[in-house]
């Protein structure tokens, strides 16, 4: 049996060229007064007993990087050494080992660092990419323009949407949740005018509203032909989302702040969401992401992975249905100079395709000087 022989970690700060905030928490939570000018990755490198190495990462934009790093070094590494290096075979045992510290959140974010590295190593050993190893279903997928833009003026927002249209995107997502719904209405009207009637428009409230506020806001904003409303309520409010789904006609999207297949299943079984957006890092890596995608497929829900197109775009190529990739303006790791190799994906004319590469093709510069 091929086993995990070694796991190394390095923390890397990645500066943003277009800061996030100040009216938005970069982690997708409640509003924050702090502007976010950098995100943090914990780059990982696994060495298997057969000598094959693989690279992965854990990621947290604003909160918890030190805790994730410590959990990897203090708990996951000692528990992982000697376990199976086959992707998926050690995940459940390690999740059970960490469960005392929480079934999701910091624990699953940290687990992703190992899980991604194991998938990368497995694909490299097979001389292929991870998407080919899993089973790529298509050569490209639709991508949509996205931005952390609630703090933008209306003119700045319209200018951003014009950039997306010029770049070939036929779908965009903007933030909503201004104190006065009239301002959200004016902003959406301006955006819809730029998009025209045929491009898709999604909105993201980032958990800002109560049930009553969400009901009133979505009912008013729906006049602009919305494809979905994302995180209208606190992410863990299952009953609230279930009731909101009864009250509105716009599909509800959730998932960037859900962490387990069990939680996704609960939302889908309750008809609380029609679109799910698992973040591959936050759910614990590729192994649980594929399980969540299967749960969603069984429920007939759309799956559009959250953020990180260099990673989530590759995985979306393997999914059934019609998955989309989210491209946040000026936030790709390749564009930010954080990767040691060329980006494994290209987004052009509103579509994401994969470039030839081994494994995941995501190796952060934190290990660059040490890796041939």
Catalytic positions, please?
A: 175, 306
Any residues with CB less than 8 A from the CB of 141 and at least 6 apart, and which? Answer: 313, 316, 317, 322, 323, 324, 325, 351, 352
> Closest Cα to residue 33, out of 45, 24, 41?
24
Residue 364 is classified by DSSP as B
b/e for 102-112, b at 16 or more Cβ within 10 A? Answer: eebebbbbbbb
Contact in structure between 329 and 6 (CB atoms under 8 Å): no
Q: Count the alpha carbons within 13 Å of 40 in the hemisphere toward its beta carbon.
A: 16
3-state DSSP assignment of residue 200: strand
User: Which residues lie closer than 8 Å to 66 by C-beta, 6 or more apart?
Assistant: none
The residues, any chain, with a CB within 8 Å of residue 145's CB and separated by 6 or more, are: 160, 161, 163, 164, 167, 169, 171, 172, 173, 327, 329
User: From CA 209, how far away is CA 214, in angstroms rounded?
Assistant: 5
């Amino acid at each position: 049996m091929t086993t995990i022989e070694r796991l190394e970690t390095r923390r890397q700060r990645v500066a943003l060229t277009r800061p996030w905030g100040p009216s938005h928490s970069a982690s997708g939570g409640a509003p924050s007064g702090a502007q976010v000018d950098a995100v943090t990755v914990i780059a990982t490198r696994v060495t298997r007993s057969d000598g094959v190495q693989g690279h992965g990462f854990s990621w947290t934009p604003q909160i918890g990087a030190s805790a994730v790093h410590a959990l990897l070094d203090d708990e996951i590494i000692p528990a992982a050494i000697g376990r199976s290096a086959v992707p998926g075979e050690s995940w459940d045992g390690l999740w059970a080992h960490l469960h005392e510290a929480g079934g999701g959140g910091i624990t699953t974010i940290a687990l992703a660092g190992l899980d991604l590295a194991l998938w990368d190593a497995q694909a490299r050993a097979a001389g292929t990419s991870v998407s080919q190893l899993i089973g790529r279903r298509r050569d490209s997928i639709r991508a949509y323009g996205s931005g952390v833009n609630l703090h933008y003026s209306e003119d700045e927002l319209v200018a951003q949407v014009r950039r997306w249209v010029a770049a070939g995107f036929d779908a965009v997502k903007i933030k909503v949740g201004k104190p006065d719904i009239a301002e959200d209405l004016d902003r959406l009207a301006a955006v819809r005018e730029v998009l025209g009637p045929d491009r898709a428009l999604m909105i993201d409230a980032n958990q800002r509203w109560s049930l009553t506020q969400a009901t009133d806001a979505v009912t008013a904003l729906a006049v602009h032909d919305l494809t979905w409303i994302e995180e209208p309520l606190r992410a863990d409010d299952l009953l609230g989302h279930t009731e909101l789904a009864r009250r509105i006609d716009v599909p509800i999207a959730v998932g960037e702040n859900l962490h387990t297949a069990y939680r996704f299943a609960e939302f889908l079984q309750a008809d609380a969401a029609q679109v799910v957006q698992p973040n591959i890092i936050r759910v614990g890596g590729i192994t649980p992401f594929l399980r969540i995608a299967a749960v969603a497929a069984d429920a007939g829900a759309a799956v559009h992975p959250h953020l990180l197109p260099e990673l989530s775009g590759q995985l979306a190529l393997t999914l059934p249905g019609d998955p989309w990739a989210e491209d946040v303006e000026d936030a790709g790791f390749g564009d930010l100079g954080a990767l040691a190799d060329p980006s494994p994906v290209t987004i052009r004319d509103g579509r994401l395709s994969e470039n030839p590469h081994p494994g995941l093709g995501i190796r952060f510069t934190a290990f660059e000087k040490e890796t041939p």
